[in-house]
A and B are shown apart, each in its own frame.
Chain A
Amino acid sequence: MSLGTPAHAGRIRGMWDFYLTVMRTAVVEQFQYRAANYAYMIGMVAEPVIYLVVWSTVAEAQGGEVAGFTPGDFAAYYIVWTLVRNMNIVFTPYGWEQRIREGHLSGMLLRPVHPLHYDIAYFAGWKVVAIVLWVPIAVVLSIGFRPTFDVSVLDAAAFFFAIWGAYLIRTLFLWLLGMITFWTTRVSALYELYFTAELLLSGRLVPLVLMPAWVLVFADVLPFRWTFGFPIEVLAADLSPAEVGQGLAMQALWIAVGAVLVAVVWRFAIRRYSAVGN
Chain B
Amino acid sequence: MRPAPRLLSLPWLFFRINALNELQYRVNFFMQLIQSVLALFTALAVLALVFSHTEELAGWSPPELLAVMGVHIAVGGLIRMAIQPNMLRLIEDVREGTLDYALTKPEDAQLLLSIREFRIWQSIDVLVGALVLATAVRWHGEAVGIGGALGFAAAVVLGAVMIYCFWLALTSGVFWIVRMEFIVELFDGVYQAGRWPVTIYPGLLRVAFTFLVPLAFAVTVPAEALTGRLAWDTLLAAATFAAFLVVATRALFRFALRHYSGASA
Contact = CB atoms under 8 A, between A and B. Distances in A.
Given A50-B193, A53-B202, A40 B186 contact: yes
A39 B50 contact: no
B183 interface: yes
Contacts of B189: 42-47
Given A35-B177, A61-B57, A189-B35, A211 B49 contact: yes
Interface stretch (A100-108, A166-174, A191-199, A248-256): A191-199
A57 interface: yes
Given A189-B31, A196-B38, A62 B192 contact: no
Interface string A65-80: 0110000000000000
A186 B31 CA distance: 9
A58 interface: yes
Q: Name, among B46, B55, B56, B181, the residue most crowded by chain A CB atoms within 10 Å (CB to CB).
A: B46
Interface string B177-194: 101011101111110110
A190 B57 CA distance: 34
Interface in A187-220: 188-189, 192-193, 196, 199-200, 205-206, 210-212
A36 interface: yes
A16 interface: no
A54 interface: yes
Interface in A116-175: none
Q: Name, among A40, A43, A45, A206, the residue most crowded by chain B CB atoms within 10 Å (CB to CB).
A: A43
Contact of A40 (B177, B185, B190, B200): B185
* Contact residues on A (Cβ < 8 Å of other chain), bracket: 20 to 34
Interface residues of B, number: 37
Interface string B36-75: 0010011001100110111111100000000000000000
Nearest to B193: A50
B258 to A, nearest CB: 23
A183 interface: no
Contacts of A39: 182-183, 185-186
Given A45-B189, A46-B193, A211-B49, A53 B54 contact: no
Contacts of B56: 61
A128 B209 CA distance: 32
A54 B186 contact: no
B116 interface: no
A58 B54 contact: yes
B195 interface: yes
Contact of A62 (B53, B182, B193, B201): B53
Interface in B150-181: 177, 179, 181
A208 to B, nearest CB: 11
Contacts of A42: 186, 189
State the 8 A-B residue pairs at the shortest beta-carbon distance, nearest first: A43-B189, A46-B189, A43-B186, A43-B185, A189-B34, A39-B182, A58-B54, A36-B182
Given A40-B186, A205-B46, 10 more contacts: A40-B185, A46-B192, A53-B196, A54-B200, A61-B54, A67-B53, A189-B35, A196-B41, A206-B49, A210-B49
10 contacts: A42-B186, A46-B190, A53-B196, A53-B202, A58-B50, A62-B54, A66-B54, A189-B34, A192-B35, A196-B42
Interface of B: 27, 31, 34-35, 38, 41-42, 45-46, 49-50, 52-58, 177, 179, 181-183, 185-190, 192-193, 195-196, 200-202, 205
Interface of A: 33, 35-36, 39-40, 42-47, 49-50, 53-54, 57-58, 61-62, 66-67, 186, 188-189, 192-193, 196, 199-200, 205-206, 210-212
